[in-house]
Amino acid sequence: MITKKMFGELDSSNFNTASWAIWSNGFNKKDCIEGQEGQPKKYFIENISDLKNNVVFVGLNMSGNDENRNNDFICSMRNFHTVEHRGDGFLKDTLKSLPYLWGGYMTDISNEIESDSKKVKVDIEKTRIQFDKQLSIINSKNINIICFGGEVFNTIKKIVLKKREKIIPNQYGVRVIKEIYNGFNVNIFGVLHYCYIINGRGNHRSNEFISKLKFVNKEIKPESTHEKNT
């Protein structure tokens, strides 16, 4: 679970790309809560009991549209919650039936706002510092990191791994690595990026994406009460 103190420390004023994997029932319609002033941050606070500290979704960066360059967009924690964005709508629809993933923390490895992912440059050391700060606030004994896309997976792998990777095989093709990092039991899951699926380059892979996240959902062990926020 997430406390109000933890929520405040993970606020977008400290981490520009911070958000949470819950959406209103009306998302992704034009007049949904997420499009209102100060939202969805207010919605997150009202539903703080649904937020989880053992799940972290990681993307590359925010896309470069004009809305995302708006300070209100960042302050309202609207990353991953862009109204009428097909990818964000698809992600919400996928996660709403996966109880162990719904409510996870969301962030990016880069603060750069750019639509062309090939132009995004990631500084590993800066990313490591920012990522370590966020994990220390989350402070879960077991942290499950879901990486959207190969570049994100490879970056997190460089940060977390102490030695050569050992991928744990599974029938769903999810890249899975288990490691102890800064005292946390870290499980890293590499899956497709959801925007890749719906932007015309991989529509046929939507079922594959859903199957991969269902697999991750089953792999996550919910924390018992005595393990939370210790």
What domains, with CATH codes, occur in the chain? 4-227 (3.40.470.10)
What is the tens place of the pLDDT at every residue in 53-81?
999 999 998 876 655 556 666 788 999 99
Compute how many other C-beta atoms are within 10 angstroms of the C-beta atom of residue 23: 23
What is the tens place of the pLDDT at every residue in 184-213?
999 999 998 887 666 555 556 788 899 999
Beta bridge partners of 57: 106, 146
99 prior amide bond cis, ω within 30: no
Q: Compute the distance between CA of residue 230 and CA of residue 216 in angstroms, rounded to an integer.
A: 24
Q: With beta carbons less than 8 A apart as the criterion, state whether 141 and 217 touch.
A: no
Q: How confident is the model at residue 13 (pLDDT cuts 50, 70, 90)?
A: confident
Residue 225 confidence (pLDDT) above 70 = no
